Amino acid sequence: MLMDICYGGVPSKIPNNSLGIRGYDYVEFYVGSAKMVAYWHAKAMGLDIKGYAGPETGVKDRISYYLEGVQGLKIVITSALTPDNYEVSGFVTRHGDGVKRWSVEVNDVREVFSKAVKNGAIPMKQPKKYEDDMGYVEEAAIRLYDDAEIVFVNRDNYKGIFRPGFGEPVQNIQIQRQETGLKFIDHIVGNVHINEMDYWANYINSALDFETFLYFGPGDISTQYSALLSKVVRSKDDIIKNPINEPYEGARLSQIQEFTMEYKGSGIQHIAIATKDIVSTIRALRANGVEFLWVPETYYEELAKKDFGLEENIDDLRELGILCDVEGEGYLLQLFTKPIGDRPTFFYEIIQRKKGAKGFGQGNFQALFESIERDQERRGNLIPMS
Ligand code: FE2
């Protein structure tokens, strides 16, 4: 029942986990040009630019754009203004555009941070209040993977835009687009090095009092060439879900190894964003110019044979390339974008959970794996393992 209150990552303000985590808060990207990447998120993904930080707001070494979806989705896109802002410029030089941090809204930043560190988390930022005349936002951070962070944030005492340092967007441009209805973060996925999946699963479970929810072992997700292992760790009330993928041995280079090779480290592979109507969301995203992974026609021939109470029109799913996986009494509708930047690393997933489906759809996971592998081959990276 509590799952219904908090289900799907929307901050409930009524945490039902031991650390007082309310749900996902913002995700911050470090990129080469915040203005361009923010424009793409507004024009193609249909998010609204709600805030801006830069020289006009007293911030001298970086530019940040703050964007929102329709129900709690918060994205920050930041680039360095000067090369000596090495935190941002160094990240982009090494990894390309990517996710630096994801955050959870908590009741008490100091308490969560101190419990997490006591339970093995690596501290990155001590609890700190960011203040201006609109109040304050408190934050702390622990390390995640090679070069990312999980941030604990509380903004109960702040009335301004996003955080001190942010103000109204300086440009007020009208963007022609179709509305996409992207609502909130459903889950965030990391790709790690060989033998690191258990390390990071145990780290998160211990630091945040999470649990391992699903495990895809050898042979569960594979092709004739390559394979992966995956563990899903989640908060015990299911509001935060964090799958972790690791390469598994195969004849050729695993796509998880392609990611760590191109990203130059372990990091965030994709963010899944929930919608209440995936057919109209994908139709709008495609009209706005978002590119998606390709699904073979045979997928829908197999789907048509299953009788599970599909409420959508299968012709719409086929036309738009939407994946559908049956899970218990419910089913999952999903689709994955192509990598959004220059390197074949980060991408978005669009997801709609129907009739209480809570998992990750092994069939869809396999379809994603095969689809990425087709693109991996085009890039010349499906190379034999010596
Ligand atoms: Fe996913």
pLDDT digit string, tens, across residues 28-66: 999 999 999 999 999 999 999 999 999 999 999 999 999
Number of domains in the chain: 2
Dist. CA 353–CA 8, nearest whole Å: 9
Residue pair 184/6 in contact (Cβ under 8 Å)? The answer is: no
Quick one: how many helices (H) and strands (E) in the chain?
10, 16
pTM: 0.94
Residue pair 152/104 in contact (Cβ under 8 Å)? The answer is: yes
Claim to verify: residue 96 and residue 200 sit in the same structural domain: no
Reported as a single tens digit per residue, the pLDDT across 262-316 is 999 999 999 999 999 999 999 999 999 999 998 888 889 888 888 889 999 999 9
The pLDDT confidence band at residue 13, using thresholds 50, 70 and 90, is: low
CA of 135 to the centre of ligand 1 (A): 36
Question: How much of the chain exceeds pLDDT 70, in percent?
Answer: 96
Q: In the prediction, which pLDDT does 361 show?
A: 76
Q: Is residue 259 a part of any domain in this protein? A: yes
CA of 58 to the centre of ligand 1 (A): 38
Domain endpoint, select from 136, 154, 172: 154
Domain endpoint, select from 99, 133, 154: 154
Claim to verify: residue 262 and residue 361 sit in the same structural domain: yes
Reported as a single tens digit per residue, the pLDDT across 176-218 is 999 999 999 999 999 999 999 999 999 999 999 999 999 999 8
CATH number of 318's domain? 3.10.180.10
Claim to verify: residue 240 and residue 122 sit in the same structural domain: no
Q: Which of 38-42, 72-76, 268-272, 366-370 has the lowest mean pLDDT?
A: 366-370
CB-CB neighbours of 135 under 10 Å: 15
Claim to verify: residue 146 and residue 188 sit in the same structural domain: no
Q: Is residue 307 a part of any domain in this protein? A: yes
- Number of residues assigned to the chain: 386
Q: In the prediction, which pLDDT does 12 show?
A: 58
Claim to verify: residue 287 and residue 331 sit in the same structural domain: yes
Neighbours of ion ligand 1 (CB under 5 A): 272, 349
Dist. CA 42–CA 47, nearest whole Å: 5
Claim to verify: residue 292 and residue 363 sit in the same structural domain: yes
Q: In the prediction, which pLDDT does 167 show?
A: 95
Claim to verify: residue 140 and residue 266 sit in the same structural domain: no
Claim to verify: residue 371 and residue 259 sit in the same structural domain: yes
CA of 349 to the centre of ligand 1 (A): 6
CA of 347 to the centre of ligand 1 (A): 10
Claim to verify: residue 255 and residue 298 sit in the same structural domain: yes
Question: Whole domain around residue 301: which residue ranges?
Answer: 184-379
Q: Is residue 164 a part of any domain in this protein? A: no
CA of 187 to the centre of ligand 1 (A): 7
Rg, Å, the chain Cα set = 20
Tell me: pLDDT of 8 over 60: no
Claim to verify: residue 225 and residue 109 sit in the same structural domain: no
CB-CB neighbours of 321 under 10 Å: 18
Residue of 291 and 370 predicted with greater confidence: 291
Claim to verify: residue 148 and residue 196 sit in the same structural domain: no
Reported as a single tens digit per residue, the pLDDT across 218-254 is 888 888 888 899 999 999 999 999 999 999 988 788 8
CA of 255 to the centre of ligand 1 (A): 15
Q: Is residue 11 a part of any domain in this protein? A: no
Q: Is residue 165 a part of any domain in this protein? A: no
